[in-house]
Amino acid sequence: MTGPRYTPLVDSLPATVPFVGPETQERAMGQGFRARLGANESVFGPSPKVVAAMAEAARGSWMYGDPENHDLRQALAAHEGVAPENIIIGEGIDGLLGYLVRMVTAGPADHIVTSDGAYPTFNYHVAGFGGTMHKVAYRDDHEDPAALLAKAGEVAAKLIYFANPDNPMGSWHPRAVVEEMVAQVPAGSLLVLDEAYGQFLPPEDLPRIDPSDPRVIRFRTFSKAYGMAGARVGYGIAAPELITAFNKVRNHFGMSRVSQAGACAALDDGAYLADTIGKVRDAVARIGQIAAENGLTALPSAANFVAIDCGRDGAFAKAVLDGLVARGIFVRMPFVAPQNRCIRISAGEKADLEVLAQALPDALAAARTGV
Amino acid sequence: MTGPRYTPLVDSLPATVPFVGPETQERAMGQGFRARLGANESVFGPSPKVVAAMAEAARGSWMYGDPENHDLRQALAAHEGVAPENIIIGEGIDGLLGYLVRMVTAGPADHIVTSDGAYPTFNYHVAGFGGTMHKVAYRDDHEDPAALLAKAGEVAAKLIYFANPDNPMGSWHPRAVVEEMVAQVPAGSLLVLDEAYGQFLPPEDLPRIDPSDPRVIRFRTFSKAYGMAGARVGYGIAAPELITAFNKVRNHFGMSRVSQAGACAALDDGAYLADTIGKVRDAVARIGQIAAENGLTALPSAANFVAIDCGRDGAFAKAVLDGLVARGIFVRMPFVAPQNRCIRISAGEKADLEVLAQALPDALAAARTGV
């Protein structure tokens, strides 16, 4: 008896996960985390109106979700000031990135550009569809638009991944830089502008981009500022031709009906969103304070997390991180040098950050003594 | 300014949807359906315990769902009497079928076999990954195991799609036939046994299959008997090597946390499932009665829907269907002759079926007179 014959590409891939989930770590530790500050989720939760809408929609979850996502698409178009034809909705940005990579990648002759140390799930999809990935270095803890564009021109890249604000560093670029980047996209390339953390930027700092511009797709999500990571709702804003192309490959009935309802309710509750953003700002400041109290430097952040420079190399930062994890705090860190001198802490409730404040000195001391 | 350069395959694909959603039809009609009997959803809804679990989980939807689906996987393993290593969980069977097709299909040299008129979403995925599809005819309104196996051997098929019970006809095969089919799978082929409607068969009529058998994967879902179509939870049972291979390509963080919680609660409420199955049986009988009252023949069904033979050709059945839709009843029909002499009615509440009973005579009369 033989099993399936996989494609050569799939045979060559490792079974992997872009991120190990905190639940996996909890099962390994045999206990739960005291503070969940590792995945840039919003501990402030979804709006109570979202929770109510999802609870109500649960009764109707015997029905498939509308495959056109009509109501949410209309609401998003109004919210973003674009036409519904400019909006694609999918199973988180992760799901949409997978579709997009698939749409342009047939094999190693298709070249993709990103920054070394940027979002691993994008890389996972590129590997999964067999594209050739080119990575350029961060510059001063920022993604480097000039280097990304230069590499894209050099390799005739099909996609250029660029996150603003950036994850994992929290850095960002002025809107004029991003707008100029769009203008410089080489012919035949598409700029993948990941704005998962865009809601944390002041609206006037977000780039103005013509939604009919065929050179760029912007991705946004309900996972971060709206506190709905577990609902799996992301969306893209792009030219109608590109939006339509998603309908060639996407899982049309892939959206949870409860999540659709929750996202519509979230858009209706701007006051809650503003309140969350305020709480995130406070938490980011408090994390900076905690870092300073421990002689460390928090990097400026325009997102709902902070990269703390631990002042030495990646092995040291990893030891600090391990110390925090051992003390019940879920945190993550950048993968690549020199950014991996940092640990990355998500915004938390005051109580979460007190747990951090109490644990960090011990974790640092242990890392310094190698204990 | 130029747009993205798609792969030749994606360029060649139409923007399409395997099924038009009822909401799309409602928007076109400018009013809602009076009875929603077209998508084999369960109008009986999810268990109140499921609704409660989903409502409770909504508060926690700021957290990503566990990418390992650990708790649900453990519960499913216990429920199915297999090891957790035999279970893959995904965004509905639709999502899992997409991953599976991708895993074995690199282009037209990869051959796939199905029945002409079987599940269109499977065909959508095969087209979307560029495989070559081979279709064999139904035999007496049943999928034809011998013909599927013969064709698979002839073309060295990588996948053989086979649904039991079948959709859209509701027919099924004795477990010995399916077990023998597994035994006859050609070397290098994988039998994709879609048991979306398996819970409606008496458990003793489901085939016994060694979960470590590398020649078959069984798919099941919470969308039908559990009344959770909108939650998007499907699962596969297969040999551990195949289960692991899904981890090379799947969207690890693609599952809704609310849906995970709902599915766990559904497994815990066997009494509700049994009650639903009883209601479905009654509804299937009532649909048969309504057909007979109109001089039509309901085909035997082991699922939560009934194919009603309208007694003439596909154009006539389409006219009957259009008449029902015009009278506010969402129904669908088979795509391919001669099965398209039928319309397909999903099990409904008594009130839904009264709407059907009242509308069918008029719809039939209109179809006969061409009005």
**A252, B17: Cβ pair inside 8 Å?**
yes
* B228 at interface of A, judged by CB pairs closer than 8 A: yes
pLDDT one-digit tens code per residue, B281-337: 999 999 999 999 999 999 999 999 999 999 999 999 999 999 999 999 999 999 999
Which candidate, A209, A194, A208, places its Cα nearest to that of A239? Answer: A209
The answer to whether residue A36 sits within a structural domain is yes
**B256, A98: Cβ pair inside 8 Å?**
no
Q: Provide, as residue numbers in chain A, all residues whose Cβ is less than 8 Å from the Cβ of B213.
A: 1
At B295, is the secondary structure helix, strand, or coil?
A: coil
Listed residues B243, B268, B293: the one ending a domain? B268
Instruction: Give me the number of domains chain A comprises.
Output: 2
Q: Of B16, B230, B253, which is closest to A60 when you measure between CB atoms?
A: B230
Interface of B with A in 118-157 (CB under 8 A): 121, 128
The order of strands in the sheet holding A216-221 is A87-90, A234-237, A216-221, A190-194, A159-163, A111-115, A132-136
**Residue of B91, B129, B232, B349 best to disrupt the A interface, most CBs of A under 10 A:** B232
Give the tokens for residue B33. 């359906």
What CA–CA distance (Å, rounded) separates A89 from A232? 10
Please indicate, yes or no, whether residues B33 and B179 belong to a single structural domain of this protein.
no
**A105, B7: Cβ pair inside 8 Å?**
yes
**Residue of A43, A61, A93, A224 best to disrupt the B interface, most CBs of B under 10 A:** A61
What CA–CA distance (Å, rounded) separates B152 from A82? 49
The answer to whether residue B113 sits within a structural domain is yes
**A229, B62: Cβ pair inside 8 Å?**
yes
Mean pLDDT of B157-162: 98
Please indicate, yes or no, whether residues B244 and B144 belong to a single structural domain of this protein.
yes
Please indicate, yes or no, whether residues B264 and B275 belong to a single structural domain of this protein.
no
The answer to whether residue A221 sits within a structural domain is yes
Please indicate, yes or no, whether residues B282 and B211 belong to a single structural domain of this protein.
no
Q: Which of A13-27, A279-293, B297-311 has the lowest mean pLDDT?
A: A13-27
What CA–CA distance (Å, rounded) separates A35 from B94? 36
pLDDT score for A371:
62
Listed residues B268, B299, B327: the one ending a domain? B268
Mean pLDDT of B112-139: 98
Vertex B72, ends B70 and B76: CA angle to 5°? 115
> Which residues pair with residue A328 across a beta bridge?
none
pLDDT one-digit tens code per residue, B212-222: 999 999 999 99
Q: At B130, which CATH number?
A: 3.40.640.10
Q: Provide, as residue numbers in chain A, all residues whose Cβ is less than 8 Å from the Cβ of B23.
A: 66, 68, 70
Interface of B with A in 293-332 (CB under 8 A): none
The answer to whether residue A360 sits within a structural domain is yes
* A352 at interface of B, judged by CB pairs closer than 8 A: no
Please indicate, yes or no, whether residues A189 and A282 belong to a single structural domain of this protein.
no
Q: Which residue of A has its CA nearest to B50?
A: A58
Q: Provide, as residue numbers in chain A, all residues whose Cβ is less than 8 Å from the Cβ of B126.
A: none
Q: Which residue of A has its CA nearest to B126?
A: A249
Mean pLDDT of A105-109: 97
Shortest CA gap B346–chain A (Å): 12
The answer to whether residue A201 sits within a structural domain is yes
Interface of A with B in 235-274 (CB under 8 A): 239, 241-242, 244-245, 247-249, 251-259, 262
Shortest CA gap A173–chain B (Å): 24
pTM as predicted = 0.97
CA distances from A20 to A103, A360, B317 (A): 27, 22, 52
Q: Provide, as residue numbers in chain A, all residues whose Cβ is less than 8 Å from the Cβ of B16.
A: 247-248
pLDDT score for A3:
86
Q: Which residue of A has its CA nearest to B67?
A: A21
The answer to whether residue A41 sits within a structural domain is yes
Please indicate, yes or no, whether residues B34 and B140 belong to a single structural domain of this protein.
no
**pLDDT grade, residue A1 (50/70/90)?**
confident
pLDDT score for A18:
83
What CA–CA distance (Å, rounded) separates A77 from A95? 20
Please indicate, yes or no, whether residues A256 and A344 belong to a single structural domain of this protein.
no
**pLDDT grade, residue B371 (50/70/90)?**
low
Question: 3-state secondary structure string, chain A?
Answer: CCCCCCCHHHHHCCCCCCCCCHHHHHHHHCCCCCEECCCCCCCCCCCHHHHHHHHHHHHCCCCCCCCCCHHHHHHHHHHHCCCHHHEEEECHHHHHHHHHHHHHCCCCCCEEEEECCCCHHHHHHHHHCCCEEEEECCECCECCHHHHHHHHHHHCCCEEEEECCCCCCCCCCCHHHHHHHHHCCCCCCEEEEECCCHHHCCHHHCCCCCCCCCCEEEEEECCCCCCCHHHCCEEEECCHHHHHHHCCCCCCCCCCHHHHHHHHHHHHCHHHHHHHHHHHHHHHHHHHHHHHHCCCEECCCCCCEEEEECCCCHHHHHHHHHHHHHCCEECECCCCCCHHHEEEEECCCHHHHHHHHHHHHHHHHHHHHCC
**B3, A214: Cβ pair inside 8 Å?**
yes
The answer to whether residue A58 sits within a structural domain is no
Shortest CA gap B58–chain A (Å): 5
| Burial class, A315, CB count within 10 angstroms (exposed 0-12 / middle 13-18 / buried 19+) | exposed
Listed residues A268, A295, A317: the one ending a domain? A268
pLDDT one-digit tens code per residue, A112-138: 999 999 999 999 999 999 999 999 999
Please indicate, yes or no, whether residues B256 and B286 belong to a single structural domain of this protein.
no
Please indicate, yes or no, whether residues B26 and B122 belong to a single structural domain of this protein.
no
Residue type, A118: A
Please indicate, yes or no, whether residues A74 and A160 belong to a single structural domain of this protein.
yes
Helices (H), chain B: 8-12, 22-29, 48-59, 70-80, 92-104, 120-128, 145-155, 175-183, 240-246, 257-268, 270-293, 314-326, 350-369
Please indicate, yes or no, whether residues B354 and B308 belong to a single structural domain of this protein.
yes
For chain A, percent of residues with pLDDT exceeding 70: 100
Residues 6+ apart with CB under 8 A from A343: A307, A308, A310, A317, A320, A321, A324, A331, A332, A333
- Do A219 and A193 contact (CB within 8 A), yes or no? yes
Q: How many CB atoms within 10 Å of residue A351?
A: 11
**pLDDT grade, residue B18 (50/70/90)?**
confident
CA distances from A332 to A131, A298, A300, A349 (A): 27, 15, 17, 18
The domain of A26 spans 8-45+271-369
Please indicate, yes or no, whether residues A320 and A187 belong to a single structural domain of this protein.
no
Give the tokens for residue A114. 């990103």
The answer to whether residue A359 sits within a structural domain is yes
**B258, A259: Cβ pair inside 8 Å?**
yes
Q: At B346, which CATH number?
A: 3.90.1150.10
What CA–CA distance (Å, rounded) separates A256 from A54? 10
Mean pLDDT of A166-170: 98
pLDDT score for B105:
98
